[in-house]
A = this chain, B = another copy of it.
Amino acid sequence: MPTPIPFHFDFSSPYGYLGSEKIEALATRHGRTVEWHPMLLGIVFKTTGSQPLTSVPIKGDYAKRDMERSARFHGVAFRLPSKFPIATQAPARIVLWQREHDAAGVGRLVHALYRAYFVHDRDIGDPEIAADVAGEAGLDRAAARAAVDDPVVKDALRREVEAAIAKGVFGSPFVFVDGEPFWGIDHFDQVDRWLAQGGF
Is B181 in contact with A62, judged by CB distance below 8 angstroms?
Answer: yes
For the complex, is A120 an interface residue (Cβ under 8 Å from B)? Answer: no
8 Å CB contacts to B: which residues of A136-189? Answer: 165, 168, 170-171, 181, 183-184, 186-187, 189
* Nearest B residue to A72, CB-CB: B200
**Number of copies of this kind of chain in the complex:** 2
Is A165 in contact with B70, judged by CB distance below 8 angstroms?
Answer: no
In the complex, which residues of chain B have a beta carbon less than 8 angstroms from the beta carbon of A69?
A: 190, 200
Give the contact stretch, choosing among A23-31, A51-59, A105-113, A124-132: A51-59
Q: How far is the CA of A94 from the CA of B126 in the complex (A)?
A: 56
Q: Residues of A within 8 Å of B, CB-based: how many?
A: 31
* Nearest B residue to A182, CB-CB: B66
Is B48 in contact with A168, judged by CB distance below 8 angstroms?
Answer: no
A48 contacts which of B44, B48, B59, B181 (Cβ < 8 Å)? B59
* Nearest B residue to A63, CB-CB: B183
In the complex, which residues of chain B have a beta carbon less than 8 angstroms from the beta carbon of A51?
A: 49
Q: How far is the CA of A62 from the CA of B72 in the complex (A)?
A: 28
In the complex, which residues of chain B have a beta carbon less than 8 angstroms from the beta carbon of A58?
A: 44, 47-48, 165, 168, 170
